[in-house]
Amino acid sequence: MTLLTEKRTLLTVITEAAIEKNLLRDLKQLGVAGYTVLDARGKGRRGVRDAAWGEAANIQIEVICSRALAETVLLDFQARYYDNYAMVSFLQDVEIIRPDKF
Amino acid sequence: MTLLTEKRTLLTVITEAAIEKNLLRDLKQLGVAGYTVLDARGKGRRGVRDAAWGEAANIQIEVICSRALAETVLLDFQARYYDNYAMVSFLQDVEIIRPDKF
Amino acid sequence: MTLLTEKRTLLTVITEAAIEKNLLRDLKQLGVAGYTVLDARGKGRRGVRDAAWGEAANIQIEVICSRALAETVLLDFQARYYDNYAMVSFLQDVEIIRPDKF
């Protein structure tokens, strides 16, 4: 027996905990139906304004949606936050069941 | 030099923290050799019984195993929990080394 | 409109919280530019020295970098830690924007 799955896109955004509320508001406005937030910590290059290294309270936000919506969110976040906040985003293909949930 | 890797399946299950013990018991009974649990929070559509939105204490469970076992777990969880609990699951291909560990 | 993305490798390492400092030092020495750490808990087979099962405070470390660097880190960690610590690692392809960040 082979499971019937459908493809969706997993968007993962790792960024500063300080802007969590802003990001969740943006997700809702962009039409995202659900999200998961995990507390994290990390280190990496900052945006343009601050080239120094910082270790900080981070969050990891995960969204599963269509490829098109994931790209919309990514472009929106890039325009709003990439220059001023430490933010790393990436896309992955995932397989889901129960596509009515996404 | 190219690393020799083998393919396995990463099963990720995001659901309500309240049923963690049940899920870990199920995993053991289904033959899963190891798992990781991360605390999370999130928002999304609930199951059939509750179509409203809720923000709740969630967990993210990760299991790496064969594709067949991942599908078995996914079908089992779907049958047991999808109607009554907020649960999102997805499958991804991953590459591992040391296949004896999985 | 299609988003222009580039491929990178996501390396995920799940291991004992006790060796976090060692691993972060190793990452820096190996040339990794950034990382994320999430607190986790889990269960699984231990390394060679301890075949028993244990449930323990774990961490999940995530690194996005080139395939070559991810393999270097994986081989280094395997040589240093796999025999004596509970450690599970896996590689995945991800798509990113802003490749200058990685």
A71 in C contact zone (CB under 8 Å): yes
Of residues B1 and A68, which shows the higher confidence score? A68
The whole-angstrom separation of Cα B62 and Cα B59 is: 10
**The pLDDT of residue B47:** 41
Average pLDDT over residues B29-43: 94
Look up residue C18 and give its two tokens.
């006790």
Q: How far is CA B17 from the centre of its chain?
A: 13
Contact B90, A64 (CB under 8 A): yes
**The pLDDT of residue A1:** 56
Query: Which of A47-56, B4-13, B72-81, C91-100 has the weakest average pLDDT?
Result: A47-56
**The pLDDT of residue C56:** 73
- All residues of chain B having their beta carbon less than 8 Å from the beta carbon of residue C92 are 10, 92-95
The whole-angstrom separation of Cα B55 and Cα B71 is: 28
Q: State the nearest Cα–Cα gap between B99 and chain A, in angstroms.
A: 22
Which residue ranges form the domains of chain A, and what is each CATH number? Answer: 6-96 (3.30.70.120)
Q: How far is CA C59 from the centre of its chain?
A: 10
Of residues A89 and A54, which shows the higher confidence score? A89
- All residues of chain A having their beta carbon less than 8 Å from the beta carbon of residue B92 are 10, 92-95
**The pLDDT of residue A91:** 98
Average pLDDT over residues A59-82: 96
Mutation choice for B interface testing from C88, C92, C93 by most B CBs within 10 A: C88
User: Are C96 and A82 within 8 A, CB to CB?
Assistant: no
DSSP E strand boundaries for chain A: 6-16, 35-45, 53-65, 87-96
A34 in B contact zone (CB under 8 Å): yes
Mutation choice for B interface testing from A5, A37, A97 by most B CBs within 10 A: A97
DSSP state letters, chain C: -----EEEEEEEEEEEGGGHHHHHHHHHHHT---EEEEEEEEEEE--TT--SEEEEEEEEEEEEE-HHHHHHHHHHHHHHHTTTS-EEEEEEEEEES-GGG-
- CA-nearest residue to C82 within chain B is B98
The whole-angstrom separation of Cα C42 and Cα C49 is: 18
The whole-angstrom separation of Cα B91 and Cα B63 is: 10
A48 φ/ψ angles, rounded to the nearest 5 degrees: -60, -40
Helix (H) or strand (E) holding B73: helix B67-81
* pTM for the predicted model, two decimal places: 0.90
Mutation choice for A interface testing from B15, B43, B80 by most A CBs within 10 A: B43
| Percent with pLDDT over 90 in chain B | 73
- The mean pLDDT of chain A is 88
**The pLDDT of residue A54:** 53
CA-wise closest residue to C75 among B97, A4, B55:
B97
- All residues of chain A having their beta carbon less than 8 Å from the beta carbon of residue C62 are 14
The minimal CB distance from B101 to the residues C40, C88, C91 is found for C88
From first to last of the 102 residues of chain C, give the pLDDT tens digit: 567 899 999 999 999 999 999 999 999 999 999 999 999 999 886 543 344 445 679 999 999 999 999 999 999 999 999 999 999 999 999 999 876 666
